[in-house]
Amino acid sequence: MKKQKIYFIISLFLTNTLFCFSQNVDSIEKSLQTAIPDSSKLQSIIQLQKYYSYDNKNKAIQLGFKGLLLADKLNDKKNKAWVLNYIGSTYYYSGMNDSAHYYHSQALDIRLTIDDEKGLGASYNNLGNIYDDQGKSTLALNYYLKALSYFEKIGFTNGVGIVYNSLGNLYYTQKNIDLSLYYYQKSLENQLKLNNTLGIIHAYNNIAIMYDEKKELKKALEYYTKALTLAEKTNNTGDQITCLNNIGQLYITQKEYIKAETALRLSLKLNKEENDTVKMVSPFINLGYLYKEQKRYDSALIFYKKGIACAQATGLKASLKESYSHIATVFALKKDFEQAFNYELLYDQIKDTLFNEESNKQLQELQTKYDTDKKEQTIVLLEKDKTIQTNIRNSVIGISVLGFFLSLVLLFAFRNKKRANKLLGQQKVEILSKNQDLQSKNNLIEHQKKEITDSIEYAKTIQQAMLPNDSEIHEIFPDSFVLFLPKDIVSGDFYWFKKVNDKHFVAAVDCTGHGVPGAFMSMIGNDKLNFAVQEKKLVSPADILSELNKGVKDALKRTTQIRNQGMEWTLLYVVLIL
């Protein structure tokens, strides 16, 4: 049930950040069939992409590829970036983060070349969302702050509110509820200023979830109700579904099961009217959870299985994984351990696909519960056996009949032990197989690490060969010494010495970056220094540095995509008077 809350916070609010509802979708689609200018047609495609990006993946992608062809024909880089943006958003809403990252990165590259500040803010926010989903919190935070700086710079209030919401999502993922609540409230302030109804609804919902997490259930219900009332007022069925689902979860927490069932069934009814299979998953799972809490296990199984069917149809692997976990628990509570074990295996398979540490933990917990229930069942059977033995012992049948029943009991215990040993053996084989797979992956990583390190060590030899010989320096400066301690194996810093006639040039150089990138810069700098002094015959430090500046730019083929690359220099030339 907790996982469904996370889903609603992150994905549903993000529909507000990138999704633009249009009252004239039909007229826009019809306009594409008429003889309008290509530039107007491209704008229409982008509007339709925004409209369909969440609810109709195939149509949004189809429109996106048409938009790319049209943007290339018009050589319209700015709108091409927006087309790529919404293709990436469509894949993001579908849970395809790799594809989403590819298209959002392409949009970012274009926006960097044309310095589209609003577009850059959108790209950084979108990529931050992907990194947040992947658990790369530091990288996500860095991208969110970049997005915030662009939006604040151009005074884009809605964009600032969007980033505040993204920061709220990030800190919620890290379980920093107070900081998450702070940013959701900041986002609400922005949405209220803009009178953005959809944004206000989602901000209310997110704030309510934070109070729910803080166990301040009265405040949580207050904000859920605000969100629901506004959604009903604006006939926003999608957000009514979200709010009712979350209210139902809250009532389950309060053990107000009748109110919970009413809210969840109304959410499900609206889902069916909308025919939105994606949004049906959560109410089905939550109703299953409600009936499990009420020990109505058969009803719980019915709704969990419906949730599984919807999750399979829509490719929601995370929801599918959660449903397998819940339904296995219900079967275990029903003492149907065979079915519990079968669903546990399905859960294990989807967990491996997602490669999620949290799922690993949940599987271990479910396995422990399964084993514990098995042991408890064995204890119950043994206690029954003792009762039977006592009754037989006190009966009139006699010692011979007692011996017969004792033999049956021993045979039954032997068979149970044999079954248990077989199950343990199967589990041991699975564990060994997984351990071997992990060891193979570790060996591959170690091998790759060694190859990379060996390559960098060889690069160190090349870089050292580039540096001046200490004896050359001592010949001119007998009391000098060289202190050169690279931070990494290879260095972005280097020193340089050159004798030209009676002039002696000495330089200490700090290039941008460390390690391999810095080492490349140091080789460029060394080459350009030699060129300036030996080929250009320059002697003035100012002239030499000017030539270096030009040489580095030419070497890097400097564009706006290569930023902050350069060197800091200390250059000295000495004329010895003999």
* Integer Cα distance of 84 and 103 in angstroms: 5
All residues at 6 or more sequence positions from 294 whose CB lies less than 8 Å from its CB, including other chains = 257
User: Confidence class of residue 563 from pLDDT cuts 50, 70 and 90?
Assistant: low
Sign of the C-alpha dihedral computed for residues 515, 516, 517 and 519 taken in this order: positive
490 to 93, 455, 471, 494: CA distances (angstroms)? 43, 11, 22, 10
Domains 175-275 and 470-575 share a fold: no
Sign of the C-alpha dihedral computed for residues 340, 344, 346 and 347 taken in this order: positive
Q: 509 by DSSP, 3-state: which?
A: strand
Give pLDDT, residue 377: 52
The residue type of 360 is N
* Residues 333 and 327: beta-carbon distance below 8 Å: no
318 to 3, 108, 353, 476: CA distances (angstroms)? 9, 29, 10, 70
* Residues 477 and 505: beta-carbon distance below 8 Å: no
Share of the chain above pLDDT 90, in %: 25
* Residues 270 and 236: beta-carbon distance below 8 Å: no
Host H or E run for residue 572: strand 567-575
* Integer Cα distance of 32 and 26 in angstroms: 10
* Integer Cα distance of 545 and 381 in angstroms: 89
User: Confidence class of residue 385 from pLDDT cuts 50, 70 and 90?
Assistant: low
* Integer Cα distance of 529 and 548 in angstroms: 7
Res. 560: pLDDT tops 90: no
Token duo for residue 508: 């200490």
Domain edges within the chain: 175-275, 470-575
* Residues 562 and 576: beta-carbon distance below 8 Å: no
More confident residue, 40 or 359: 40
Which is nearest to 209 in space by CA: 458, 7, 418? 7
Residues in the chain: 578
Token duo for residue 221: 């219900």
* Integer Cα distance of 425 and 162 in angstroms: 53
Res. 463: pLDDT tops 80: no
Three-state secondary structure of 98-150: HHHHHHHHHHHHHHHHHCCHHHHHHHHHHHHHHHHHCCCHHHHHHHHHHHHHH
What does 402-433 look like in DSSP terms, one character per residue? HHHHHHHHHHHHHHHHHHHHHHHHHHHHHHHH
Host H or E run for residue 496: strand 493-500
What does 39-100 look like in DSSP terms, one character per residue? HHHHHHHHHHHHHHTTT-HHHHHHHHHHHHHHHHHHT-HHHHHHHHHHHHHHHHHTT-HHHH
* Residues 468 and 482: beta-carbon distance below 8 Å: no
* Integer Cα distance of 17 and 25 in angstroms: 19
**Average pLDDT of the segment spanning 14-40:** 66
* Integer Cα distance of 161 and 63 in angstroms: 28
Strands 503-511 and 493-500: antiparallel
Res. 21: pLDDT tops 80: no
CA 34 to chain CA centroid, Å, is: 41
Of 222-231, 272-281, 369-378, minimum mean pLDDT range: 369-378
Q: 577 by DSSP, 3-state: which?
A: coil
User: Confidence class of residue 391 from pLDDT cuts 50, 70 and 90?
Assistant: low
* pLDDT single digits (tens) 417-431: 778 777 876 777 677
Which is nearest to 257 in space by CA: 219, 295, 201? 295
* pLDDT single digits (tens) 468-516: 888 778 887 888 888 888 877 887 788 888 887 777 888 888 876 667 7
Res. 546: pLDDT tops 80: yes
Phi, then psi, of 413 in degrees rounded to 5: -65, -40
Give pLDDT, residue 189: 92
* Integer Cα distance of 339 and 295 in angstroms: 18
Work out the angle at residue 104's Cα, subtended by the Cα atoms of residues 100 and 106, and round it to the nearest 5 degrees.
Answer: 120
Share of the chain above pLDDT 70, in %: 82
Q: Which fold has domain 470-575?
A: Phosphatase 2c; domain 1 (3.60.40)
How confident is the prediction for the chain on average, in pLDDT?
80
**Average pLDDT of the segment spanning 439-443:** 80
* Integer Cα distance of 296 and 307 in angstroms: 17
Phi, then psi, of 151 in degrees rounded to 5: -65, -40
Give pLDDT, residue 249: 87
Pick the CATH number of 175-275 from 3.40.50.2300, 1.10.10.920, 1.25.40.10, 1.20.1270.10: 1.25.40.10
Strands 567-575 and 503-511: antiparallel
